[in-house]
Structure 1
Amino acid sequence: MKNNYPHIFQPLTLRGMTMRNRVAMMPMGSDFAGHNGELSDEHIKYYELRARGGTGLIIVENICVKYPEGSNGTTQLRLDKDCYIPRMFNLTEACHRQGACIGVQINHAGASAMSSRIGMQPVSASTLPSKPGGETPRPLSKEELESIAKDYAAAARRAVNAGFDLIEIHAGHSYLISQFLSPTMNDRTDEFGGCAKNRARFCRMIIDEVRKAIGPRVPISLRLSVDELVEGGNTVEDCLEYLEYLNDEVDLFDTSAGLNPTIQYQIDANYLEDGWRSYMAKAVRDKFNKPTIAIGNIRDPKIADDIIARGDADLIGLGRGLIADPDWCNKAKYGDVCDIRKCISCNIGCVGNRIGGNKPLRCTINPDLTEGESYKKKQVAKPCSVVVVGAGTAGLEAACTAAEVGCQVTLLEKKDEIGGLSVEISKIPAKKRLADFPTYLKHRASKLSNLTIKTGVDATVEDIKAYQPDLVVNATGSVPLLPPIEGLHENLASADASVYSIMDMIDNLDNYPEDLTGKKVVVVGGGAVGLDVVEFFAPRGAETTIIEMMPIIGNGLDASSTASMKECMSKHHVTQMVNTALMKVNPHSFLVKYDGKEEELPFDYGFVCLGMKAHTPIWEAIEQGFEGENTEVINIGDSVRARRIIDGTDAGRHLVLNTLERLGYL
């Protein structure tokens, strides 16, 4: 078998651990744990699947060393008692059997904990909260710090006993150690505050205690926010200074970025380039001549290989990329890059579900995080004809899934191209990664001989019946929502007006000047669609205003996207008008109403972005046309209700499989 990307796929030894390649799965919360912090069967299957996919080193999500004080989630894993060792051993054994090394990240949340969850006031270096508007923590005494250092050591000892090959100490991302290291959260005047050496003292204590507990053969990794990217926070140079006091006994530096207020750089926003953080790994590696992990939106194996080849880092850290495709390593090494289901950095099922949502980890483009592609083992027991109407992402997922289990599938698409709305939205520069998903689906479909795709077909019930289907899947998607507001329909995209929808903007992307200084842009609608418009025009210098009827802009966005939005609004001085209703659309102005007063907002470009609505031109006819016949009909994706890609992908996989199983075809 061929070996693509040779720099990634070479072994690396750290103390007593040898990894088969240079790819490490980064520790990411899953909310799979039980309420008591015990590892679940779901956890084991999730990590084992990534180990089987060829990952060199799995680093398990952060584990609480002191409960409840140090807990940072609703269902965080724990290792503060011996009773958690047996299940952890089951996990390490499962991953070892797949050829992977496995480490675990130990952590104390400090001020990032919530009193409503832990039942006490959070603790920290000082009284400074870990994020704007956060709870005021209680400063820890020296005696408490010494005790917590021993808690880290005890958790590390349990981890080694459970079979873990590496211990990672979390010293970044606004957790407790980070709260000592960062000047933004530490204003102490004793031996643990002030200069870099003092701020590093607590971390030094922990490293020393952990090393004593685990002995000389087990490597220690230290995760850092190398560049905090907040005003008054540590820069790369500041990090290199305090690391002079932490370098001893650390075998691997896991070089991350950002704090709570800059979470969009910690959990990379979609517009950030592949490998954008590698300069941080290189800075640490160059100074201390020790292995580093480079992370940061790395999706392309070529970019990952180049990072290793040019000496920026020794390991490539993949997080969401391995959520999206657990076989990333095997596909990169032996297969075709087009087979990789590349993460699109949407942050919906991973960040959005967990942070604030308190729901288990999910993925927009991977409908099954624990079973992977095992569904393909279920093949049809009798012939089954499936017709799918609509070749957006939901329809493509449905068609591919049905074909992969042996159905004869016909996919009908009205347009000349397949991929749907995702292809259109991906034309916006900041959304270009979105194109990777329909590209993957097209490639996947092209390999299925029992899947026929017909484009340019405005399907009718008679067309569908010609295929004698046993199952019809309607996936006709959504269109922009344009309510009956006075003047809207008359002025929208009129030659005599400057009023547009999101689709009008996309169709004219190449016609907008790079410099729009002095131009007025007004966007009606503060949801994801309206924000896409703002994030396109505001950086070009346009005087931008966004209007939202609700009290909040960006309602429902994940934490990373919310932080990106706020940064854009602040940096480019975007005017935000909430609790504001659109009353009338004029050719070159909007009449809006807020606080009982009306105001006219003139513009050079006005956009009405009030969301999307289900587009169901044929669904009613399908229901009626097959009534009383031995054909099952289902409606999926946006054509049920305009939602997100994740909902359509999930239905395209699971609703289709469950329907086939219910009907006795599987």
Structure 2
Amino acid sequence: METKRVWEPIRVGGITLNNRIMMGSMHVGLEKLEGGVRRLAAFYAARARGGVGLIVTGGAAVRPEGGMGEQYCSVYRDEHIEPLRVITEAVHQEGGKIALQLFHAGRYAYQEATGLEPVAPSPLQAPINRTRPRALTGEEIELTLQAFADGAVRAQRAGFDAVEIMGSEGYLINQFLSPVTNVRDDEWGGDFERRARFGVEVMRRVREAVGPDYPVIFRMSGLDLIPNSTTMDETLQFARMLQEAGADALNIGIGWHESQVPTIAMMVPRGAYVWVARLVKEAVTIPVIASNRINDVRQAEAILEDRCCDIVSMARPLLADPDIIRKSREGRFDEVNTCIACNQACLDHVFEGKPASCLVNPAAGREEEWTLSPAPVKKRVAVVGAGPAGLEAARVLAERGHQVVLMEKRQQIGGQLNYARQVPGKSEFNETLRYYRTQLGLLGVDIRLGVEAQADALLAEGFDEVVVATGIIPRRPEIPGIDLPHVVSYTQVFEKQVDVGKRVVIIGAGGIACDLSHLLVQNDNISPQTARYLLEYGILSAAEVHRLQQSGRQVRMLRRGRHVGTGLGKTTRWAVLANLKRHGVEMLTQVEYKEITPEGVRIVHDGEERLLPADTVVVAAGGISDNRLYESLKGRLPVHLIGGAKEAGELDAKRAIYEGALIGRLI
């Protein structure tokens, strides 16, 4: 597809962006590591070098009680200016433009991080925070308004090209606007105009402080996805009020952090919320920015062509590939390392208090220490196993100039990624496999499929070093009846080697079992296009179409432990389990296995013995490391062990790719 509109320059306030892709704000937390802001500067500089039109930083706190702690970026004191200047100078050196996001978390601020009591419009506790906030007084509201204005001036002095006011995602400004979180009865709450006053006043004060030409973007919530919150009519009215107050552009955010609707996970269709930006664009005359699940520049081009917005925001896609803009401009779409919206190394890390990185690009956040330098001595290296660990190791080794042979006993690359990509809502893994196929081809890696590597053969071929990435062997627990003919492994189901009956019991309830359950309860013979056709022409009702999309299987997951879905990410686990429950999957924990019989699985649960009827029993109880090749090579040749072969666990692609990237840099 030819891209044109995405490369057209656009004016935002007093600056011109040289293309219409913006890197959206992400809290990455690199500034709290050793090297601090310098690491963050290197991270943003890499994205500027890749050619993105505008970068927006993670939120910089305008007040200490509204931030994420002293370790993170802040802009509430003059001494914050010089550290921030390190970022702007690094970005400008690469020819980029960068905006500072002015941030106040309100009731989402953690007292454990700030050491201060959180504040909000009203003293209503957020379900994602253990601390109840205190209601702001009228005097404190005035101080906070001034803090946004002062923060904007400091951003100007630090060399930022623009500021973005964070008024979305359920943070303080959004809390003032919503009737769910603002139950005040003074001039800052009550009817819509009074609830909107705080956000409009922030915008007006910032504009007054920075002057008429300095670009001010307002990130507003287009859709709260919270019951009984701001209506769409109110949202559009708020957009017009912000334009009148001096906003140069509106960036449309979707959902709150406490929302029970997934908005950026892999299960969310690409571009699912662009329609919200379009509604706002029809209501105002300033540029409007669309975001959420847009991970391909060709997709951005189509959105711009359809006049849904004026600028497209991509955040995580620039974590996954800092060069996505440059590659796309040159038409090298197949070379892009596409964001798969897994959240595992970005959002999950941040919510766990760790710095963000990326599952498919572990170099994200490690720009300073992980430079890719040519190998001082070019070696002939065998990589055994073409799962995620082996693929990344082979790619990095070849890019550094080593001669790489990649051996895989199956007839295709990908390892257990080939299981994940079959699961409904996980087709993005196809992009990762496309990326590796393209890169290994360009780098001249010798890929040998259907080859089970043997130690003697590797020695005879004269390899200098070997990387063993042979993955895991599925574990078979010791349960009487485990060898009955209707007991199968999860690998046999994913590889379509067995027919699965209508009544299924899965032994295991981790990430693999959850994926398997999704696969088994849905009928993939009915495509979304077919479903839409059946609905549009009234051939079937919505309920009938939904029934048709189900496989009709009864699926039960069993676990000896207390928790289902261990190994799933913190920010997506809740959505995965809710989806399984919606599809009728039964999950039993703290189960004692008695035996598997031809009729089903006999267990003890809650002190009661039961027989769970089953036509098929699937074992998905984890695995053990397949390190046999490593053991047979040890002491005979320099050999390295990575991925599942090193440490068995759930399908841990994040660790596998990280270890592949690391060993590729060490040899």
Change (3 A) 1:641 1:150: same
Q: Please, which runs of 5 or more residues in structure 2 have no aligned partner?
A: 523-549
CA distance in 1, matches of 2:371, 2:111: 46
Whether the 8 Å CA contact 1:16–1:217 is kept in 2: the answer is yes
- Within 2, Cα distance between the matches of 1:510 and 1:176? 54
1:107 Cα offset (Å)? 0.9
Structure 2 residue 149 is matched with structure 1 residue 168: no
- How far 1:348 sits from its partner (Å)? 0.9
Deviations 1:405-439 (A, max 9, x none): 22222221111212211123212232111121122
- 2:471 & 2:182 partners in 1: Cα distance? 51
The aligned amino acid for 2:605 is Y
Aligned to 2:41: 44
Please point out which of 146, 149, 153 is paired with 1:153. 149
The more displaced of 587-596 and 289-298 is: 587-596
Q: In the aligned structure 2, how far is the partner of 1:132 from the partner of 1:387?
A: 48
Deviation sequence 1:527-581 (CA, Å, 0-9, x none): 2112213334556265554333333323353333123124325544544433334
Counterparts in 2 of 1:477-556, with a 5 A limit? 477-488=471-482, 490-491=483-484, 494=485, 497=486, 499-508=487-496, 521-537=504-520, 540=550, 543-556=554-567
Quote the residue 2:456 is aligned against. Answer: 462
What SS does the aligned partner of 2:22 have? strand
- Conserved? CA contact 2:510–2:564, under 8 Å: yes
CA 1:581 to 1:195, structure 2 compared with 1: closer, same or farther past 3 Å? Answer: farther
- In structure 2, what is the Cα distance between the partners aligned to 1:447 and 1:577? 48
- Which residues in structure 2 correspond to 1:561-600 (within 5 Å)? 561-569=572-580, 571-572=582-583, 574-600=585-611
Which residue of structure 2 lines up, in the alignment, with residue 653 of structure 1?
661
Q: Secondary structure at the match of 1:302?
A: helix
Aligned 8 A contact 2:219 2:253 in 1: yes
- Residue 425 (str. 1) matches residue 420 (str. 2): yes
Q: Deviations over 1:93-145 (max 9, x none)?
A: 22123222211111111111122222333211212222267432211122211
Between the aligned partners of 1:49 and 1:510, the Cα distance in structure 2 is 48
Runs of 5+ unmatched residues, structure 1: 514-518, 661-666
Which residue identity lines up with residue 503 of structure 1 in the other structure?
A: T
Which digits, 9 at most, give the CA deviation of each residue in 1:591-628, with x for residues without a partner? 233333332222455443222332234222122xxx2x
Matched, 1:85 2:81: yes
- In 2: Cα distance, 1:100 partner to 1:401 partner: 27
Q: Do residues 33 (structure 1) and 31 (structure 2) align?
A: yes
- Which residue in 2 is equivalent to 1:254? 251
The amino acid of 2:558's aligned partner reads I
State the shift of 1:383 in Å: 4.1
1:473 aligns with 2:461: no
Which residue in the other structure is 2:546 paired with? none
Indicate conservation of the 8 Å contact 2:31/2:38, yes or no: no
**Aligned pair count?**
636
- Kindly provide the CA deviation profile for residues 9-62 of structure 1, in whole angstroms up to 9, marking residues without a partner as x: 1111011011010010011011112389x9511100000000000100000011
The reply to whether residue 408 of structure 1 matches residue 416 of structure 2 is no
Equivalent residue, structure 1, for 2:361: 366
Asked whether the equivalents of residues 106 and 168 of structure 1 are also in contact (C-alpha less than 8 Å), the reply is yes
Q: Structure 1 residues 563, 315: CA separation in 2 closer, same or farther (over 3 Å shift)?
A: farther
CA contact (8 A) 2:380 2:464 kept: yes
Quote the Cα distance in structure 2 between the aligned partners of 1:7 and 1:337.
Answer: 17
Secondary structure at 1:40 match in 2:
helix
Aligned to 1:641: 647
The aligned residue for residue 55 of structure 2 is: 58
Question: Which residue of the partner structure matches residue 638 of structure 2?
Answer: 632
Q: Retained in 2: the 8 A contact 1:113–1:122?
A: yes
Does the 8 Å CA contact 2:422/2:519 hold for their aligned counterparts?
A: no
| SS of aligned partner of 2:560 | coil
* CA shift for structure 1 position 584: 2.6
Please, which of 593, 615, 638 is the counterpart of residue 626 of structure 2? 615
- SS, match of residue 147 in structure 1: helix
Whether the 8 Å CA contact 1:126–1:187 is kept in 2: the answer is yes
Distance 1:188 1:605 in 2: 58
Contact kept? 2:167, 2:220, Cα under 8 Å: yes
Q: Secondary structure at 1:260's aligned position in 2?
A: coil
Over the matched positions of the two proteins, sequence identity in percent amounts to 30
Alpha-carbon displacement from aligned partner over 1:182-230 (angstroms, at most 9, x marks no partner): 2322222333223221211111121111111111111221212311223
Task: Select 1:113's aligned residue among 100, 109, 113.
Answer: 109
| Contact 1:156–1:167 (8 Å) recurs in 2 | yes
Compute the displacement of 1:370 (Å): 4.8
- Following superposition, the deviation at residue 378 of structure 1 comes to 2.8
Structure 2 contact 217–247 (Cα < 8 Å) conserved: yes
1:9 to 7, 10, 13: 7
CA distance in 2, matches of 1:353, 1:132: 16
Measured after TM superposition, the shift of residue 157 of structure 1 is: 0.7
Counterpart of 1:246 in 2: which secondary structure? helix
Give, in whole Å, the separation in 2 of the partners of 1:528 and 1:410.
Answer: 31
3-state SS in 2 of match to 1:211 = helix
| 2:382 aligned partner | 387
SS state of the match for residue 393, structure 2? Answer: helix
The CA RMSD measured in Å over matched residues stands at 2.6
Q: Kindly indicate whether the alpha-carbon contact (under 8 Å) linking 2:423 and 2:518 is maintained by their aligned counterparts in 1.
A: no
Give the C-alpha shift of residue 390 in structure 1: 1.0
Asked if structure 2 preserves the Cα contact closer than 8 Å seen for 1:398 and 1:653, the reply is yes
Q: Is the 8 A contact 1:478 1:614 kept in 2?
A: yes
Q: For 1:59-458, list aligned pairs within 5 A.
A: 59-67=56-64, 69-72=65-68, 75-131=71-127, 134-248=130-244, 249-262=246-259, 265-266=262-263, 268-355=264-351, 357-370=352-365, 378-449=373-444, 451-458=445-452
Cα deviation for residue 479 of structure 1 reads 3.4
- The DSSP-based 3-state class of the residue aligned with 1:559 is coil
Question: Which is worse superposed, 130-139 or 95-104?
Answer: 130-139
Offset, 1:655:
2.2
Query: Partner letter of residue 457 of structure 2?
Result: D
Counterpart for residue 663 of structure 1:
none
1:515-536 Cα deviation digits (max 9, x unpaired): xxxx655444332112213334
Task: State the TM-score, normalizing by the size of structure 1.
Answer: 0.90
